[in-house]
Amino acid sequence: MGLSLKNDIEIAKYTIDNSADPSDDIERINPVIISIPVLFSPWENGLTFLLGSGIELEGHQNFSVFRFGLGYEFEVGNHWDFAYDLKDGHINALTIAIGVGKRF
């Protein structure tokens, strides 16, 4: 079990549709997501579950986020990890990510 700091930058420009009031759609330009998930590895095979909360920062409007996902980690050397994450975001966004981590 461990604690992680996961930061993402979405290099994208998109609009979140508000079906109730289309004039109230929310524009997103390169939002930054900061989260602190808990990591849990029940087996020694590198499979890791993550669960935690955070915030998505963007100039128009900020959102709280809840992150959960499944990752695979393998040690590269001297406690450095290479991770592959599959996570679900706040607006049903499915993301595939590759990360590098350092264990302490």
Along the 104 residues of the chain, how does pLDDT read in single tens digits? 788 888 888 888 888 777 777 778 888 899 898 988 888 888 888 788 888 888 989 998 898 888 888 877 767 776 665 555 555 544 556 666 667 666 66
Number of compact structural domains in the chain = 1
- CA dist 69 and 90 (Å) reads 12
Looking at residue 18, what is its pLDDT? 73
pTM exceeds cut of 0.85: no
Domain membership of residue 36 as a residue range: 2-102
Looking at residue 12, what is its pLDDT? 82
- CA dist 36 and 52 (Å) reads 6
Looking at residue 104, what is its pLDDT? 66
**Measured between alpha carbons, how far is residue 76 from residues 48, 82, 83, 100, 101 in Å?**
16, 7, 10, 10, 10
